[in-house]
Structure 1
């Protein structure tokens, strides 16, 4: 796909990976409709790219706000690229989560992208060439302790992407599934970041992920898994899950210890 003059709807545009993607798209000459609840974080980009970037305030868990996005996309002249990058996370063991935490992850991470994609598909199908990009996670392929509900949403998003790609196989709309590994964003709590440090996990910058996503879009890829050895572990988990079970079980005491730390407590590996 050519990005110059592409018409893009981008969710989760006000932070982390989403904001980095917004900047990369604008720099490549795309017209971007940034979907976010608040404008403040986007203000510098809106000032830098006044002709390329516009913003619509929307809470994607609300049907009325999803219709606002549709109206804004129609006003932009249609859309040929939808990037579902909005997401929420909560590091905790399942019994430590409130129902509201679980429901928020389900609503934002899976219900919102499915329903928004359905709403925008008629516009996407009108384009000569179009793409839906769903930003998932390595945790959409590997279940990980402390992230059971989050993993459930990303497993679902991966399945949705695969099924939608097959459903649209006889159309001009393609589907790209993106699976970043740990990324340095505000979505990660202090305890989650401390756990990453303790495990010596690889953590990417949002700009690194955004650059890889842009290249995958331009290259008309069907999926993108970032990071080594994370890509290897995804394949290993598919082939020999019990081997991965044994490896991850060794991390369980550390995961439990960090999940029990209060957010305001100084955390050390």
Structure 2
């Protein structure tokens, strides 16, 4: 990993974001933490080493004011040298029963707000000369799954956003990473999601596993795509190469999935 600098971690009041913040701080980097829950952010900041010199901003990044507050905090901290977009929401629901507001909320939280914040912080990242951008996606961002239409759409979008930025800024000192975890044990998972994972025998990782994958990507010093978990990693790649095989496999699971839809 590059020399110590200031990393912005969004979603830091959640399980994955908090674990990433602790892992990055342990490497000696300074932190600007963002999330909606100020109490959780303050508790996280109190656990971090003094070298992290943590600043936290409780804000809703889906709003222009929330993003502006975070950008100002980064400027006051001397500028962002890295951005880890870990904020997001889950959504397991029958698409035909979703209303416009819920669809908009999922896409905004998982994609639009991330794009807008990244654009707002780009001047600081590019001024660093050698910055990292990490987007936390999902296996469902390359392997669309029944009951996750809006969620998969938002995470597919994030995957495409990461790929485009990696290519667009390849010669400008911005290293773009896309990390795609499989099921992870966090509060984002509803009871229905947990029950479905149990019924299907899906394995879940801890947030610490995702955090270590982020560190490994940063240590590698080059951007790229990182899929976590087996056999999820295999199925994600198979879906890109031969989606008809995955269509057939998931068709046999539809009845089970529908029984668990809320």
TM-score, scaled to structure 1 = 0.93
Matched with 2:20 is 21
Matched with 2:234 is 232
Counterpart-to-counterpart distance in 2, 1:136 and 1:5: 25
SS in 2 for 1:89: coil
* Paired residues, number: 259
Task: Extract structure 1 runs of 4+ deviating beyond 6 A.
Answer: none
Offset of 1:96 from its aligned partner?
Answer: 2.2
Counterpart-to-counterpart distance in 1, 2:64 and 2:43: 29
Question: Residues 89-104 of structure 1: matches in 2 within 5 Å?
Answer: 89-104=90-105
Counterpart-to-counterpart distance in 1, 2:38 and 2:44: 10
* Residue ranges of structure 1 left out of the alignment (5+ in a row): 261-269
The answer to whether the 8 Å contact 2:34/2:41 transfers is no
Counterpart-to-counterpart distance in 2, 1:137 and 1:84: 12
SS in 1 for 2:37: coil
* Residue ranges of structure 2 left out of the alignment (5+ in a row): none
Q: RMSD between aligned alpha carbons? A: 1.2
Offset of 1:11 from its aligned partner?
Answer: 0.5
SS in 2 for 1:227: coil
Matched with 2:80 is 79
The answer to whether the 8 Å contact 2:35/2:60 transfers is yes
TM-score, scaled to structure 2 = 0.96
SS in 1 for 2:146: coil
Counterpart-to-counterpart distance in 1, 2:218 and 2:133: 10
Deviation string 1:11-68 (CA, Å, 9 cap, x unpaired) is 0000111010011111111111000111222333222226322201110111111111
